[in-house]
């Protein structure tokens, strides 16, 4: 490579490194015209296309670069990461493995291979790659965090704790490490440490509150007699349903309780005990004296696992709607509601693969005396109903959580994956059986079939990654005994 070309490529690379995509593309255009088959130029062009949204164009450029210079580990790594981004996991694995073969000492490649194994739900294989990444680069904070997630999925909790503490030692301000440490403490029932660490979630950009009240002081346990407190709902619907149980605790201290919550939950939560006003904004009828994010309530309330107030039955359906559904679904048989799909991957922990296929729940349909009622939202989920499986779809009726609550109120049992529906059923005090993946959410603990959060919930735990046959068989057997 000539000195001039080397300098020009360095200038492009600098613009790329600073995310100045338009400038980088302008600098690269004459080089592409003069050297159309230069692998370094093709690679940089692929990076620019990828970052500006043209994934197919990026794939073409990077594939050409790797084909022209097949012994360059960096090119195979870049191509593998792009394929992963496009969801082509098998080809991505091939490219990353090739990169590792060419340069086995590169910690970055071990890390990305581990990340890909996580996306495939393969905790053991992922852990090996992350462990190797930390061995080759001991200061690799992200690898320590992901290794901790794998250790949790393997039920090796002390090892997970050690990984997270090492990540925090390396980078004391790493919010993701602190949040994962918080959830590990909470999983163990170590609530005081968990709630304290969980406050780090506000340093993660994606977890910023959608609504806030600038200028209103945060409630940190001050006396509330004659005061008003705004509860700011956050995170997922299930989190909100779970933590709204603490509103009566504020009411008992003399507070007027205001709630800002998403529209799909609004009419249901307007009926929640302890809530004086609920709206989908923060323009309350009067400026509150205090504000607090909903999931921050446990720390000033000193929630320690022995006082998880109102473990079930703290929400109620709309009476007329429930009566209508009671009449509409009247008839013989035990009415069992089913929910089997959620979001494909949890953003920060792809090992937590919650969904199962409807076909995997077929053993439940074979239990005599059972009527299956589908409470699953999304037309796509209904395209694969197995032949011979009788299930009534109420998908079109699930307009919001109030509507779903009214239907649930008439059912004998709800069977669901770990999603907001599980929290809704538990909050309504309905009998609910929840399927849990091997990589657990913190609130369900490490073992056992009960949870202190909902006294009407029974947990059925996955025994092997990506396999639901065993817990569903256990569920079918339990259903036969109770029908």
What DSSP line would sit under 436-451, residue for residue?
E-SS--GGG-SS-S-B
- Provide the domain limits for residue 252: 228-301
Residue 477: predicted pLDDT: 96
Query: Cα separation of 139 and 372, whole Å?
Result: 52
Secondary structure tally for the chain: helices H, strands E = 21, 10
Query: Which residues is 290 bridged to in the sheet?
Result: 229
Whether 29 is covered by a domain: the verdict is: no
Residues 384 and 427 occupy one common structural domain: yes
Residues 350 and 289 occupy one common structural domain: no
Residues 335 and 243 occupy one common structural domain: no
Residues 343 and 478 occupy one common structural domain: yes
Whether 177 is covered by a domain: the verdict is: no
Query: Cα separation of 402 and 408, whole Å?
Result: 10
Whether 200 is covered by a domain: the verdict is: no
CB 109 within 8 A of CB 99: yes
Whether 462 is covered by a domain: the verdict is: yes
| 211 phi/psi in degrees, rounded to 5 | -135, 145
In tens digits, the chain (483 residues) has pLDDT values of 567 888 887 887 888 788 888 888 888 888 888 888 888 888 887 778 888 888 888 888 888 888 888 999 999 999 999 889 888 889 999 999 999 999 999 999 999 999 999 988 899 999 999 999 999 999 999 999 999 999 999 989 999 999 999 999 999 999 999 999 999 999 999 999 999 999 999 998 765 677 788 899 999 999 999 999 999 999 999 999 999 999 999 999 999 999 999 999 999 999 999 999 999 999 998 899 999 999 999 999 999 877 776 677 899 999 999 999 999 999 999 999 999 998 765 555 677 778 899 999 999 999 999 999 999 998 888 988 888 899 999 999 999 999 999 999 999 999 999 999 999 999 999 999 999 998 888 999 999 999 999 999 999 999 888 889 999 999 999 999 887
> In 395-422, which positions are buried (b, 16+ CB within 10 angstroms) versus exposed (e)?
eeebeebbbbbbbbbbbbbbbbbbbbbb
Q: Which two tokens stand for residue 36?
A: 């159309």
Residue 52: predicted pLDDT: 84
Model's pTM, two decimal places? 0.89
CB 414 within 8 A of CB 431: yes
Residue 339: predicted pLDDT: 97
Whether 142 is covered by a domain: the verdict is: no
C-alpha radius of gyration, the chain, whole number: 26
Query: Cα separation of 483 and 462, whole Å?
Result: 23
Q: E-strand spans in 283-442?
A: 290-293, 334-339, 370-374, 392-393, 413-417, 432-436
Residue 206: predicted pLDDT: 63
Query: Cα separation of 241 and 416, whole Å?
Result: 16
Residue 272: predicted pLDDT: 95
- Considering 301, 329, 354, which residue would you say is the last residue of a domain? 301
Residues 386 and 453 occupy one common structural domain: yes
Residues 435 and 358 occupy one common structural domain: yes
Residues 456 and 348 occupy one common structural domain: yes
CB 368 within 8 A of CB 386: no
What DSSP line would sit under 119-186, residue for residue?
HTT-HHHHHHHHHHHHHH-TT-HHHHHHHHHHHHHTT-HHHHHHHHHHHHHH-TT-HHHHHHHHHHHH
Question: For position 292, which CATH number holds?
Answer: 3.40.50
Question: For position 358, which CATH number holds?
Answer: 3.40.50.2000
Residue 346: predicted pLDDT: 57
Residues 281 and 409 occupy one common structural domain: no
Residue 345: predicted pLDDT: 54
Residues 351 and 288 occupy one common structural domain: no
Whether 186 is covered by a domain: the verdict is: no
Q: Report how many domains make up the chain.
A: 2
Whether 380 is covered by a domain: the verdict is: yes
Whether 100 is covered by a domain: the verdict is: no
Residues 296 and 347 occupy one common structural domain: no
Residues 295 and 382 occupy one common structural domain: no
């Amino acid at each position: 490579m000539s000195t001039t070309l080397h300098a020009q490529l360095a200038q492009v690379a600098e613009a790329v490194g600073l995310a100045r995509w338009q400038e980088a593309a302008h600098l690269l255009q004459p080089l592409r015209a003069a050297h159309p088959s230069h692998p370094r130029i093709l690679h940089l062009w692929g990076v620019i296309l990828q970052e500006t949204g043209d994934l197919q164009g990026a794939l073409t450029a990077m594939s050409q670069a790797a084909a022209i210079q097949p012994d360059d580990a960096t090119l195979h790594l870049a191509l593998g990461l792009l394929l992963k981004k496009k969801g082509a996991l098998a080809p991505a694995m091939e490219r990353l493995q090739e990169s590792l073969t060419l340069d086995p000492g590169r910690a970055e490649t071990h890390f990305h291979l581990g990340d890909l194994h996580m996306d495939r739900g393969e905790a053991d294989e992922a852990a090996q790659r992350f462990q190797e990444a930390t061995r080759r680069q001991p200061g690799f904070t992200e690898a320590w965090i992901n290794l901790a997630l794998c250790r949790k999925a393997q039920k090796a909790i002390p090892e997970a704790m050690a990984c997270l503490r090492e990540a925090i030692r390396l980078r004391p301000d790493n919010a993701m490490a602190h949040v994962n440490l918080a959830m590990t403490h909470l999983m163990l029932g170590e609530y005081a440490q968990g709630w304290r660490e969980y406050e780090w979630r506000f340093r993660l950009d994606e977890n910023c509150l959608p609504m806030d009240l600038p200028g209103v002081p945060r409630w940190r346990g001050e006396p509330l007699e004659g005061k008003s407190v705004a509860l700011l709902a956050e995170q997922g619907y299930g989190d909100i349903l779970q933590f709204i149980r603490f509103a009566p605790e504020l009411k008992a201290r003399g507070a007027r309780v205001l709630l800002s919550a998403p529209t799909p939950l609004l009419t249901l939560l307007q009926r929640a005990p302890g809530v004086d006003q609920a709206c989908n904004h923060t323009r309350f009828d009067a400026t509150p004296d205090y504000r607090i994010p909903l999931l921050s309530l446990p720390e000033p309330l000193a929630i320690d696992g022995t006082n998880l107030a109102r473990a079930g039955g703290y929400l109620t359906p709309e009476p007329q709607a429930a009566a209508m559904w009671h009449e509409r679904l009247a008839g013989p048989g035990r009415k069992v509601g089913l929910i089997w799909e959620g979001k494909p991957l949890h953003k920060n922990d792809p090992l937590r693969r919650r969904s199962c296929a409807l076909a995997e729940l077929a053993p439940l349909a074979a239990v005599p005396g059972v009527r299956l009622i589908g409470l699953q939202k999304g037309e796509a989920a209904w395209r694969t109903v197995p032949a011979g499986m009788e299930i009534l779809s109420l998908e079109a009726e699930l307009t919001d959580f109030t509507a779903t609550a009214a239907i649930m109120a008439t059912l004998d049992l709800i069977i669901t994956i770990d999603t907001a529906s599980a929290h809704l059923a538990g909050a309504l005090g309905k009998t609910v059986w929840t399927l849990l993946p091997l990589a657990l959410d913190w609130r369900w603990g490490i073992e056992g079939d009960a949870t202190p959060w909902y006294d009407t919930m029974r947990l059925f735990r996955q025994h092997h990654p990506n396999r639901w046959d065993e817990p569903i068989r256990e569920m079918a057997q339990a259903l036969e005994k109770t029908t």
